[in-house]
Structure 1
């Protein structure tokens, strides 16, 4: 019997040790309580129903622990289309000292980003997108030296992008699109940055040729007020596979080398790029949009391998290369927009049948379009540019 008592004693002792080791750190426990009080489920969401503090918080939805510390906090049901949360982000988040990951699903989280986020020295992933976060981006986020992903897109952030945030050494993904940010694009010091998305803001000024690291693969700066030449910048970014600089005020010439990059979608439309487009090799980029610029010279036959080519609303002149016409009639070019230029001719039979999946627009050039083709509404109704404009351009 004595040995039985010893085994029972040892078993109870092991259970006691297990329970002690499973108890969450008191600081983290109180922090989670404060976070819960500042949030509510939106209609249709039951994410927070599991947050019953009479049970182990490490079993709460979106809470992940390592030992007695919270290491990840994913607030809201991650399933696509699920209702999010409402409320505010409590500053107590900054007390979760071991936190490495913080995310908030789309919802109605309002207010400012807590300045206490800078206390999370282990934070590697911060994603709070598609909510209603407002105010400035705290410059103290630059203290998060281990941060790799920062996504604050689709919010209402104002002010400038702090230089300290651009200086984060470990950044790989930086997404601030669809906010109300102003000021200039900071210099980025991370040599591992691969994705930079700042589109749909109010950023202005020029971009230094050395402000972005050559590691960038995805770059979107569209829908801002950025200015100046970018040729010296672009030729350094030879790992790009996506580039969108559209709807800015960039100027200068487009470097020929850019067309040799492994880009799937090149969008430079609605800027002030000027000069001839000089190509040295066949362009293998599926979609090239250079429309609404100040480009001039002849259309290069090396564009004939592009599937969707937008050269409209520029100052191109001369004849359309026969290779483009052949590829269009063969169904290899799906979109060929050449309207609103100063083109003088195209070798195409008036009875030629353009494939149904392909689109050609030639109107408002210095020629009468030899074929009737549907054009975008923005092209207007005038088929030919006035002769006086054509004469002045040639002169």
Structure 2
């Protein structure tokens, strides 16, 4: 075993080596290293070690951070002496023949992040003290003989993102506190137990969860509609229970689902048509229920091998491979045809009337500008004079020009009255749409207030010294400029001597959280929801503390009378909104703006922030997009597609020394966080609006990523 020591006796590594004979004394070699005061890691997994853990284990160094002996032939009980390793972060004893209960001394492992005891013969109840291990990220106890109820104390593990208690003898109800633990982001598996009662509505809190399995239990009642809030799910298995009622309509939000199993329940009603438009859905099992009506013929229902509907005797139609009876035609079909024809005439008339009204509106618009601007700004934002802005910007000197947009130029200035630094956006009124942009921005900003929105200080709506119309918006000046200048300094900077700008991992996550928080406020917390319509790096400004502020509301739109449902299917006469590369594809087809459109732009922005590639980069040709580029690379090429600055940060954090035979935990978490970011970006930028992630779910998941990075010692 000496050859398996690293320099300084910090680690013992024998993972995967053909060591051990299955004899009782196999693990006695551990006693030879009890004097290694610097020992940090022991890895002897995937071997043939037999026997029991020796008593001398209690004398191993207290500096031990990782102990792995999985996939061996070890018997006996887990030694209580393991509780002496107060610095232990990973304990992996899975796939052995260990028996007895989980020792009470494990409560002392307050730094434990990963506990894997799966596929053993452990018994007794799951101890409630596991809930006191508040740093726990992963808990795997599946494939044992645990009985009794699931302890509600596990909900105290606020960082827990992976929990597997399947294949045990657990009974009783699912604790609402646990099923509502929003940190669970990767897997929650409670299958193959004897759990009873209803599925708590708190399940809707699992908005970041990707895999949920409660199959083969004794659960009853209807499927709670709140399950539709778990929009990050890719696998949902609920088969082998006693659920009744219909499939909730809220499931329409689970557009990223790949594997859905509702088999062997008492579900009834018609199969929802929205399942046929879930492009990610590859496996669908609805067998042995009481579904009725017509079987869809599109999407997953075109795949007879990936879809199972046997045991539903009231179904009809579908592809011939399903061997279902032909559906009886309904008498109202002819009536529907007449309604379609009538609707066509009505829509044509409405569109004609809309064109007339639009012409009248354009004639009236310019006359009302001054009145509208006045009503848009409260007393604290009175008009400032042209002369004041002229003096503040040194006659709009090119030296003070900090940016040029579609409808205006932005200058840095200093107000003489109070020496406040300001950014002045001077509208190019000769440009088509500039006047409308000015009004839209005033309207959007007059009643909103959020720490991540660019604050407007005042406006100027008057004439210049030549008598021409002059309109400008005055904002707080953001010391660190736009996100565009940080992501692409060479392309966006007009200052040749400017030092390269570098954003680390935590800074990028924090900026992403700031932008998501701003969107969540605009979409869901304003009295009238607002869609920004032009989210991109140049419209995100960073203050002196690197807090992000979303600006430029020149294309913003109010969703007047909107509900929580998307308005993306309503037709718009306003043409394309947004910027090429960031505007969602449905806008190009004439669809009305929507919250989902902003989410698409956000997804592209997030992918750009971590790959360092603009969506209009020359890399993206022949139908290759930033979305598909990232989606095709995941999960194996997560580092290859990442910005070089972040890869350098990873190498710097790992340091020059990595022990042999060990996969660095830090590197694993670093890459896991990157993968989570890319999955969010991809989930936000799907072509189909209904499949996109909710912005509130995005914010929640990004907070979890930042907490993981903080735990690694990474900071902004």
| TM-score between the two structures when normalised by the length of structure 1 | 0.69
1:205-284 to structure 2, matched below 5 A, reads 205-212=172-179, 213-217=181-185, 218-259=187-228, 261-280=231-250, 281=252, 283-284=254-255
User: 1: distance between equivalents of 2:254 and 2:49?
Assistant: 47
Match of 2:291 in 1: 316
Q: Which residue, out of 307, 316, 333, partners 1:345?
A: 316
Q: Does 1:98 align with 2:67?
A: no
Question: Which consecutive residues of structure 2, in runs of 5 or more, have no partner in the other structure?
Answer: 1-6, 13-18, 329-716
Distance 1:181 1:48, change over 3 A: closer
Match of 2:162 in 1: 195
Q: Answer whether contact 2:202 2:226 (CA < 8 A) is retained.
A: no
User: 1: distance between equivalents of 2:157 and 2:68?
Assistant: 22
User: 2: distance between equivalents of 1:117 and 1:361?
Assistant: 59
By how many angstroms is 1:319 displaced? 2.6
Q: Does 1:121 align with 2:96?
A: no
Distance 1:319 1:117, change over 3 A: same
User: 2: distance between equivalents of 1:239 and 1:215?
Assistant: 7
Cα shift readout 1:79-119 (whole Å, capped 9, x = no counterpart): xxxx3201111232222222111110311111011112212
Q: Does 1:161 align with 2:126?
A: yes
By how many angstroms is 1:236 displaced? 1.4
Distance 1:94 1:255, change over 3 A: same
User: 1: distance between equivalents of 2:318 and 2:212?
Assistant: 32
User: 1: distance between equivalents of 2:122 and 2:31?
Assistant: 33
Distance 1:339 1:98, change over 3 A: same
Match of 1:42 in 2: 21
Cα shift readout 1:267-307 (whole Å, capped 9, x = no counterpart): 10001111111224264211110000111111111111232
User: 2: distance between equivalents of 1:339 and 1:258?
Assistant: 25
Match of 1:301 in 2: 273
By how many angstroms is 1:329 displaced? 7.0
Match of 2:135 in 1: 170
Q: Answer whether contact 1:154 1:179 (CA < 8 A) is retained.
A: yes
Match of 1:380 in 2: none
User: 2: distance between equivalents of 1:343 and 1:261?
Assistant: 30
Q: Answer whether contact 1:282 1:303 (CA < 8 A) is retained.
A: no
Q: Does 1:335 align with 2:335?
A: no
Cα shift readout 1:119-152 (whole Å, capped 9, x = no counterpart): 2111111000111100111122122111110000
Q: Answer whether contact 1:84 1:105 (CA < 8 A) is retained.
A: no
**Which SS does the other structure have where 2:263 is aligned?**
coil
**Which SS does the other structure have where 1:133 is aligned?**
strand
Match of 1:151 in 2: 116
Q: Answer whether contact 2:209 2:232 (CA < 8 A) is retained.
A: yes
Q: Answer whether contact 1:41 1:86 (CA < 8 A) is retained.
A: yes
By how many angstroms is 1:250 displaced? 1.3
Q: Matched residue pairs, number?
A: 302
Cα shift readout 1:34-60 (whole Å, capped 9, x = no counterpart): xxxxxx82279xx9899896xxx59xx
Cα shift readout 1:207-247 (whole Å, capped 9, x = no counterpart): 12112421112111111001111232311111110011111
**Which SS does the other structure have where 2:39 is aligned?**
strand
User: 1: distance between equivalents of 2:68 and 2:42?
Assistant: 6
Q: Answer whether contact 2:221 2:242 (CA < 8 A) is retained.
A: yes
Distance 1:52 1:211, change over 3 A: closer
User: 1: distance between equivalents of 2:56 and 2:30?
Assistant: 16
Instruction: Give the RMSD, CA atoms, in angstroms.
Output: 3.2
**Which SS does the other structure have where 1:41 is aligned?**
coil
**Which SS does the other structure have where 1:177 is aligned?**
coil
More helix by share: 2
User: 2: distance between equivalents of 1:142 and 1:49?
Assistant: 26
Q: Does 1:183 align with 2:148?
A: yes
Q: Does 1:75 align with 2:50?
A: no
Question: Which consecutive residues of structure 1, in runs of 5 or more, have no partner in the other structure?
Answer: 1-21, 26-31, 33-39, 355-359, 371-395
Distance 1:89 1:50, change over 3 A: closer
By how many angstroms is 1:328 displaced? 5.3
Residue range with higher mean Cα deviation, 200-209 or 134-143: 134-143
User: 2: distance between equivalents of 1:205 and 1:346?
Assistant: 41
**Which SS does the other structure have where 1:251 is aligned?**
strand
User: 2: distance between equivalents of 1:51 and 1:186?
Assistant: 34
**Which SS does the other structure have where 1:216 is aligned?**
coil
By how many angstroms is 1:70 displaced? 1.7
Q: Answer whether contact 1:176 1:197 (CA < 8 A) is retained.
A: yes
Q: Does 1:292 align with 2:257?
A: no
Distance 1:308 1:226, change over 3 A: same
> Who wins on radius of gyration, i.e. which is larger?
2
